[in-house]
Amino acid sequence: MLSLVPIGPLNWRKSLTMTVQPERQAWVSSVSPVALMLLAKSYIRPDGQVWFPFALDADGQMVGVLGVGVDDPGAPSVPQTAWLHHVLVDVDAQGRGYGRAAMGAVGCWVREQHPTVTLVGLCVLPENGIALALYRSLGFESLGETTDGQVILVTTVAELATD
């Protein structure tokens, strides 16, 4: 069973050890360790989002990290969205279904903690075919591209949340 555990005083050092293959680092973050980027962004709140840095916990073992940035509920005429950032499954834990399980856990967390949020979005580099295939299999659809060439994908919270 995989769960989201907030990165905090008891696990932040372990979160800094989560890595991917060097050739995949740019797909996740320009900064390593990735958890450092998550913690910094949760403090500075870029794009006006409230950030939540999480460790991915599989039966007591940390297997990755990710961040969820939730849009301001007062944004005019835009569906409130939770954005996934810097999704990383540790190199030693890849290929075991943790990425898929993490997406379901995020959907459930958003549904429970932020009931006004209706969409979950993320950006992914087009050369990250493994992630693109996973996200599309989970119901994410393309909205276009960012100015730096990343694909913007969205799905509904209801589609993503799996109990």
Q: Who has greater pLDDT, 73 or 146?
A: 146
pLDDT at 93: 95
pLDDT at 77: 53
Using pLDDT thresholds of 50, 70 and 90, give the confidence band for residue 163.
low
Mean pLDDT, range 131-140, rounded to an integer: 95
Task: Tell whether the model's pLDDT for residue 9 goes beyond 80.
Answer: yes
Mean pLDDT, range 51-69, rounded to an integer: 96
Say which CATH number the domain at 55 has. 3.40.630.30
Mean pLDDT, range 154-160, rounded to an integer: 94
Q: How far apart are CA 158 and CA 146, in angstroms?
A: 25
Taking only the tens place, the pLDDT of each residue in 23-49 is: 776 777 777 788 888 999 999 988 888
**What residues make up the domain containing 109?**
2-160
Q: Which of 66, 163, 54 is nearest to 122 (CA)?
A: 66
Q: How far apart are CA 78 and CA 152, in angstroms?
A: 16
Task: Tell whether the model's pLDDT for residue 75 goes beyond 70.
Answer: no
Other beta carbons within 10 angstroms of residue 135's beta carbon come to 26
pLDDT at 123: 94
Taking only the tens place, the pLDDT of each residue in 109-124 is: 999 999 999 999 999 9
Length of the chain: 163
User: For the CA atoms of the chain, what is the radius of gyration?
Assistant: 15
Number of domains comprising the chain: 1
pLDDT at 128: 92
Q: And the tokens for 72?
A: 């301001």
Sign for the CA dihedral angle at 3, 7, 13, 16 comes to positive
Q: Which of 92, 99, 86, 91 is nearest to 135 (CA)?
A: 99
Q: How far apart are CA 126 and CA 29, in angstroms?
A: 15
How would you list the strands of the sheet with 50-58, edge to edge?
A: 2-6, 50-58, 61-70, 81-89, 119-124, 151-156, 141-145
Mean pLDDT, range 85-100, rounded to an integer: 93
Q: Note if the pTM is more than 0.85.
A: yes
pLDDT at 51: 93
